[in-house]
Structure 1
Amino acid sequence: MDVIVAARKYITKMIEESGPGMKVLMLDKETTGIVSIVFAQSEMLQQEVYLFERLDSDLPPDVMRHLKCIVFVRPTRDNVAKLARELRRPRYGYYYVYFSNVIAKADVKQLAEADENELVRDVQELYADYLAVGPHLFHLGMPSCSQGLAWTQPSLTRATQGLAAVLLSLKKCPVIRYQNSSEMARKLAESIRLTFTKEATLFSFRRAEPPPLLLILDRRDDSVTPLLNQWTYQAMVHELLTINNNRVSLAEVPNVPPELKEVVMSAEHDEFYAQNLFSNFGEIGQTIKSLMDEYQKKLQSQKKVESIADMKQFVEMYPQFKKMSGTVAKHVTVVGELSRLVDRHALLECSETEQELACHDEHQQSLQRIYRLLNSEKTRELDAVRLVMLYALRYETHSNNDINRLVDTLRRRGVDDKYTKLVYPMLDYGGARARGSDLFGDDDPVAVTKRFFKGVKGVDNIYTQHKPLLSRLLDDLLKGRLRETAYPYHSSSYSQPLRPVEVIVFMIGGVTYEESLAVHQVNSTVPGVRVLLGGTCLHNSRSFLDEVLTATQAAHALQARATRS
């Protein structure tokens, strides 16, 4: 179950089936991301793809009949209409048309009628309708998938299509379990089951025992994880700089050279990044130093060009040397900027308080630390708001909670109204009444005992104590202890909880890199088990707050209208 391998296989198939010769790849906005996240442009050039074009481009058309056109787009009505217009006035010699998901017969007929010049050589469905971030991680690029704390119909349709594409690309027809406390999870489970029935021929894979399992969860059950500062390399980059389809903008970094204003962070094409995705901040500093030492040794050796043999060796080694030079420059710049931001905004102190809120029940001590940080000039607006939200989620039901005064403190500090007005909606989104699980482990004697002993003995790293709810759910699932009342099967004949060896977890409302790390640890330590994690999008704290804002706005508007009437 490797989504990068599955997506690359489909894209390679498209390019190879068009045969030798110069090609143009025509994409839409979404498939541009799907392709670019798993294939480098240099790899495309090696396969004779010399031009990339957007189906929705407004640029004046150039007729290039000597090129073959590979079209890879999502099967939307808009794309079908634009492609039909292209076929009526063709600019390329031949067209090979691929859709990223199931295409309606009526849409195929519309394209056939538009192809008056009979230039379309092939039409196929290839199920790469998702963004493959890593071998075990994917998302659908759907920020803000709900309104009024419920699905919008377009979002439910897109989530169903994307998840179905993942299953088809991996050739899996799983048993479905879903979070019973979430109406959105129940609706998605039902929509996926109907897709299995409607597309029974596509999903007629050989049955495995035990069958693969699809577990559908709701972000609202764990609103703490996306609010925390992160301390592994990949997660820190996304939290502090933002990764967008493997690209990171460094344009705001002081004195950054022009060639580093945007860098690619891809584990598929950057060996150093692949080896250090899950390294913590302390480790990455040491690793960067080792990388620089190795680079300097090679630099010294390249200076000793004294003979023809030395020159020959230099020419042979130059591409590798240049690649290493680029890798060093990129990661030194990125890690340097992370260090600058951590120091400038006192993120270590903020993170320590966040971890205390997430993992310990020490009300007065936490409150004092929060007020101290809210009054510090170093603390960013975003970090101040996150601390208040974490406090609200933890102590919402505490008899002496200080939520109102903390919100007033944010206002007096001049924090943007967008954020101060989001503290109480956060409780609507992920508070005690919204959750179906015991997020803080207060009702679990085992969790309470572990927390007590952790407090007595101390921990190796106070900044990474927190484990996402997903870790506990996967542990229970793989041990056959996940309660069927809380996570029922959807239309399944199984009466006893299964212990699956292949699990696809899908999180409505987005996933995080901390949860990706949890899945990586399961895959690395539990023999014979493979877990794949996906979600509607991939969050850092800013995108998560936008998700909560969109999800709760409609609900609050309805409440306000009801109050006025």
Structure 2
Amino acid sequence: DLRNQLYESYYLNFISAISRSKLEDIANAALAASAVTQVAKVFDQYLNFITLEDDMFVLCNQNKELVSYRAINRPDITDTEMETVMDTIVDSLFCFFVTLVLVDRNIDLATPLHHTWTYQALVHDVLDFHLNRVNLEESSGVENSPAGARPKRKNKKSYDLTPVDKFWQKHKGSPFPEVAESVQQELESYRAQEDEVKRLKSIMGLEGEDEGAISMLSDNTAKLTSAVSSLPELLEKKRLIDLHTNVATAVLEHIK
């Protein structure tokens, strides 16, 4: 761009702090193109991370495998590769600390960076989890063929784990065994509410699924009114139960 004189002036913005050697390369290029006066400003934005939630951030890198736990612990990793990984992680963490946090230099920074046996950490470590969206491959059983039974083609599903998800907000920091128990408790609670709705319909003589008829009688039955009004919430609860059942099952398949 400097050589071709594409712009009247240049404002260079870098996600993370630019090294002195690269800054010298830019200066040499500007000199060679006689465009030194056109380089107005150079900014270090310290933005080499993404804040997904109020209390969670991830390191920003085009190749997420480069800064993964697996990359650091590969048995065949070379010293040069390890240095590259460490430099990338350090640069990203520096961007985070210099932008959002003031830290006493005596604090133990390693401890909060360790991944624990919690729901959120495991989802991040073992599943395809990126920008609060987890992608799963779910097998749909087996199919018969002349060669015998074989697994059916896997279906790909995506789920968003966001602050709107009440179960995720409540249990993302919980140990994984507790999450499994909580999913079961939520399922039992849902079934109890569902059975109550069916019981009320039976009492009112509405054995079928005619929700319109239920609404017509809701003015006369306080309990039925409450049950009908809670149906959207009940359906959302069932959706979240199914979501976290699938996610927790996928996590379990990886760690068992």
The TM-score, its normalising length taken from structure 1, stands at 0.26
Identity %: 17
Q: Is the 8 A contact 1:270 1:327 kept in 2?
A: yes
Q: Is the 8 A contact 1:129 1:166 kept in 2?
A: no
Specify which of 152, 157, 160 is matched with residue 264 of structure 1: 160
Match of 2:243 in 1: 330
Give the Cα–Cα distance (whole angstroms) in 2 for the partners of residues 319 and 214 of structure 1: 47
Query: Structure 1: which amino acid aligns with 2:124?
Result: H
Give the Cα–Cα distance (whole angstroms) in 2 for the partners of residues 279 and 246 of structure 1: 17
Deviations 1:390-419 (A, max 9, x none): xxxxxxxxxxxxxxxxxxxxxxxxxxxxxx
The answer for unaligned runs of 5 or more in structure 1 is 1-74, 79-103, 109-125, 178-212, 348-565
**1:179-198 alignment to 2 at 5 Å?**
none
- Residues 148, 254 of structure 1: CA spacing in aligned structure 2 closer, same or farther, 3 A cutoff? closer
- Report whether the alignment pairs 1:316 with 2:202: no
Match of 1:120 in 2: none
Deviations 1:165-219 (A, max 9, x none): 223xxxx4x55x3xxxxxxxxxxxxxxxxxxxxxxxxxxxxxxxxxxx676669x
Larger radius of gyration: 2
Q: CA deviation at 1:321?
A: 1.6
Specify which of 241, 251, 259 is matched with residue 127 of structure 2: 241
Give the Cα–Cα distance (whole angstroms) in 1 for the partners of residues 88 and 250 of structure 2: 39
Match of 1:163 in 2: 97
Q: Is the 8 A contact 1:232 1:277 kept in 2?
A: yes
Deviations 1:356-407 (A, max 9, x none): xxxxxxxxxxxxxxxxxxxxxxxxxxxxxxxxxxxxxxxxxxxxxxxxxxxx
- Report whether the alignment pairs 1:149 with 2:83: yes
- Report whether the alignment pairs 1:139 with 2:58: yes
Q: CA deviation at 1:322?
A: 2.1
Query: Structure 1: which amino acid aligns with 2:140?
Result: N
Q: Is the 8 A contact 1:130 1:140 kept in 2?
A: yes
Match of 2:70 in 1: none
Q: Is the 8 A contact 1:234 1:277 kept in 2?
A: yes
Give the Cα–Cα distance (whole angstroms) in 1 for the partners of residues 109 and 183 of structure 2: 39
Deviations 1:290-314 (A, max 9, x none): 1111001111233334422356535
Match of 1:255 in 2: 140
Give the Cα–Cα distance (whole angstroms) in 1 for the partners of residues 128 and 191 of structure 2: 30
SS of corresponding position for 2:159: strand
Q: Is the 8 A contact 1:133 1:139 kept in 2?
A: yes
Q: CA deviation at 1:249?
A: 0.8
Give the Cα–Cα distance (whole angstroms) in 2 for the partners of residues 232 and 157 of structure 1: 26
Query: Structure 2: which amino acid aligns with 1:255?
Result: S
Q: Is the 8 A contact 1:291 1:328 kept in 2?
A: yes
Q: CA deviation at 1:326?
A: 0.9
Q: Is the 8 A contact 1:295 1:324 kept in 2?
A: yes
Query: Structure 1: which amino acid aligns with 2:135?
Result: S
SS of corresponding position for 1:261: strand
Give the Cα–Cα distance (whole angstroms) in 1 for the partners of residues 242 and 117 of structure 2: 21
SS of corresponding position for 2:239: helix
SS of corresponding position for 2:138: coil
Query: Structure 1: which amino acid aligns with 2:164?
Result: H
- Report whether the alignment pairs 1:297 with 2:192: yes
SS of corresponding position for 2:230: helix
**1:71-220 alignment to 2 at 5 Å?**
76=13, 106=41, 130-133=49-52, 135-142=54-61, 143=64, 144=66, 147=81, 149=83, 160-167=94-101, 172=102, 174-175=103-104, 177=105
Q: CA deviation at 1:327?
A: 0.8
SS of corresponding position for 2:140: coil
Q: CA deviation at 1:274?
A: 2.5
- Residues 235, 291 of structure 1: CA spacing in aligned structure 2 closer, same or farther, 3 A cutoff? same
- Residues 161, 280 of structure 1: CA spacing in aligned structure 2 closer, same or farther, 3 A cutoff? closer
RCO greater where, 1 or 2, for CA within 8 Å and sep 6 or more? 1
Give the Cα–Cα distance (whole angstroms) in 2 for the partners of residues 247 and 274 of structure 1: 14
- Residues 313, 265 of structure 1: CA spacing in aligned structure 2 closer, same or farther, 3 A cutoff? same
Query: Structure 1: which amino acid aligns with 2:125?
Result: E
Q: Is the 8 A contact 2:134 2:161 kept in 1?
A: yes
Q: CA deviation at 1:77?
A: 6.7
Q: CA deviation at 1:287?
A: 1.8
Match of 1:201 in 2: none
CA RMSD, 1 decimal: 4.4
Deviations 1:436-478 (A, max 9, x none): xxxxxxxxxxxxxxxxxxxxxxxxxxxxxxxxxxxxxxxxxxx
The TM-score, its normalising length taken from structure 2, stands at 0.50
Q: Is the 8 A contact 1:247 1:262 kept in 2?
A: yes
Query: Structure 1: which amino acid aligns with 2:218?
Result: I
Q: Is the 8 A contact 2:59 2:89 kept in 1?
A: no
SS of corresponding position for 1:294: helix
- Residues 287, 77 of structure 1: CA spacing in aligned structure 2 closer, same or farther, 3 A cutoff? closer
How many residues were matched structurally? Answer: 175
Give the Cα–Cα distance (whole angstroms) in 1 for the partners of residues 155 and 231 of structure 2: 19
Query: Structure 2: which amino acid aligns with 1:164?
Result: V
Query: Structure 2: which amino acid aligns with 1:140?
Result: L
- Residues 161, 318 of structure 1: CA spacing in aligned structure 2 closer, same or farther, 3 A cutoff? same
Q: CA deviation at 1:259?
A: 10
Give the Cα–Cα distance (whole angstroms) in 2 for the partners of residues 217 and 282 of structure 1: 25
Q: Is the 8 A contact 1:130 1:166 kept in 2?
A: no
The answer for unaligned runs of 5 or more in structure 2 is 1-11, 16-38, 68-79, 142-153, 205-216
